[in-house]
Amino acid sequence: MALVRSGNKQKILEAGSQFNPVFDTEYKPGDTCKYEGIYKCTGCDKEVTIANGKTIPPQNHHQHSVSQGNIRWKLFVYAQ
C-alpha cells in the first residue's frame, strides 16, 4: 500500500487515514530519512526513490539555478 501526497495538501489518499506529518519533514542532501519511498525535491520537483539505507542523495545529485534555491527533499510517496 502506498500513501500518496495530494498536491500541496497534506492529505493521504488512503481510506480511513488521517493527516500524516511524515509528509512535512524536509531533508537536506546527505540526511538520513525515516521512511523508504519516493522523495521529491522542493526546488525543481525532481523525484528520487529511497530504499535500503534511507540516505537522501548528496548535494551533487543534481544542480539548481539560483531561483530554485537549496535542494530540499520531501516525502512524496510512502511505501508501506
Task: Determine the interface stretch with Zn ion among 12-20, 24-32, 33-41, 48-56 (rule: CB under 5 A).
Answer: 33-41
44 binds Zn ion (CB under 5 A): yes
Task: Please report whether residue 43 would count as binding Zn ion according to CB under 5 A.
Answer: yes
Of 11 and 40, CB closest to Zn ion: 40
Instruction: Kindly tell me which of 12 and 71 has the beta carbon lying closer to Zn ion.
Output: 71
**Matching residue, cell 530540499:** 72
